[in-house]
């Protein structure tokens, strides 16, 4: 029982990590908390559903279109909305992303209704038993895809010229501008990458969760908790904290009470914030 709970927790943590890393990237570079990350995940899930229901495309094969569409949406949000409040007070920045979340969520409700939708893949019912633990293949795909995506982002930021420019902008935007880097463009690229990661997460979890207008709420809230626990702006910290939260929540749900598992996450968050206000991993490593 415990082994199965830990295995489920690792999968859940990997999904949390993918959503949270996008949130951490946006905060680390643009210095704004994107409360719309969960709503953007919902939009991406509906994108998967539309291609599946209208064209019978396997959910996993929608990955290029969904990621490209979410990246474009993120770039547009940054240039049209976020740029206008970057130099304004923090409350304005928080309210605009919160308002965006409400607009996206209610837009999905208006377009698709409150009904639950689902998508299927040929591997839905396939189960393997590594070390005697039953694990669905779709869960393994989600875990592997999340790990690869986080690793790709890390390498992109560390090994490419654009990634280096994004990190420089995150550290010293004024100096970056003097060096000839287009700071506004780097902000837009960072926001686009964060939204693209939400698109990847949507594709990976689409066979596992029902799709409805509120589906992204829990992921968005947990992602925020993960980012704070990992140290604001830290990609590696967010990934590690996501694993801890995922495993802890799954074990608690299995051994104690499934209905109280989310409350357990919030309780752990409150206690750890009292003990370590800067997060579990402090300022050890930033995207910038």
Residue 233 vs residues 21, 166, 264, 281: alpha-carbon distances, Å: 9, 13, 24, 11
**CA distances to 103, 212, 238 from 97, in Å:** 10, 21, 20
Residue 102 in 3-state DSSP? helix
Q: Which helix (H) or strand (E) holds 136?
A: strand 135-136
Q: Locate tokens 């752990």: which residue?
A: 268
Sketch the domain layout of the chain as residue ranges. Answer: 2-275
Residue 181 main-chain phi, psi, to 5 deg: -85, 130
Q: Which of 239, 228, 231, 232 is nearest to 266 (CA)?
A: 228
CA-closest candidate to residue 38, choices 177, 185, 169, 205: 205
Show the tokens assigned to 22. Answer: 């996008």
Cβ–Cβ < 8 Å for 196, 74: yes
Q: What is the pTM of this model?
A: 0.93
Nearest to 238 by CA among 88, 43, 24: 24
**Encoded tokens for 102:** 């409400």
CA distance 18 to 31: 19
Rounded Cα distance, 17 and 76, in Å: 24
- Chain position carrying tokens 């914030």: 273
CATH architecture of the domain with range 2-275: Orthogonal Bundle (1.10)
Question: Tens-of-pLDDT digits for all 288 residues of the chain?
Answer: 788 889 999 999 999 999 999 999 999 999 988 999 999 999 999 999 999 999 999 999 999 999 999 999 999 999 999 998 888 887 888 889 999 999 999 999 999 999 999 999 999 889 998 877 888 999 999 999 999 999 999 999 999 999 999 999 999 999 999 889 999 999 999 999 999 999 999 999 999 999 999 999 989 999 999 998 888 778 888 888 999 999 999 999 988 888 888 888 888 888 888 888 877 765 544 554
């Amino acid at each position: 029982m415990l082994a199965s709970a830990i295995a489920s927790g690792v999968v859940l943590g990997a999904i949390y990590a993918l959503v949270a890393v996008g949130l951490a990237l946006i905060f680390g570079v643009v210095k704004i908390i994107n409360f719309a990350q969960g709503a953007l995940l919902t939009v991406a899930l509906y994108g998967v559903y539309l291609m599946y229901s209208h064209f019978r495309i396997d959910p996993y094969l929608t990955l290029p279109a969904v990621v490209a569409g979410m990246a474009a949406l993120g770039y547009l949000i940054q240039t049209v909305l976020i740029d206008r409040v970057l130099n304004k007070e923090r409350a304005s920045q928080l309210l605009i992303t919160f308002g965006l979340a409400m607009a996206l969520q209610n837009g999905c409700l208006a377009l698709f209704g409150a009904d639950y939708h689902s998508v299927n893949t040929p591997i839905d019912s396939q189960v393997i038993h590594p070390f005697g633990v039953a694990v669905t293949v779709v869960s393994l795909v989600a875990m592997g895809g999340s790990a690869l995506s986080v690793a790709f982002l890390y390498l992109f930021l560390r090994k490419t010229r654009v990634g280096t420019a994004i990190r420089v902008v995150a550290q010293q935007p004024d100096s970056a501008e003097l060096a000839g880097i287009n700071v506004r463009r780097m902000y837009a690229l960072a926001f686009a990458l964060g939204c693209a990661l939400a698109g990847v997460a949507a594709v990976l979890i689409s066979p596992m969760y029902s799709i409805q207008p509120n589906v992204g709420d829990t992921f968005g809230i947990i992602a925020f908790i993960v980012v704070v626990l990992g140290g604001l702006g830290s990609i590696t910290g967010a990934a590690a904290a996501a694993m801890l939260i995922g495993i802890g929540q799954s074990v608690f749900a299995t051994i104690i009470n499934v209905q109280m598992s989310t409350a357990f996450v919030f309780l752990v968050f409150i206690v750890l914030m009292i003990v370590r206000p800067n997060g579990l991993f402090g300022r050890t490593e930033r995207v910038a």
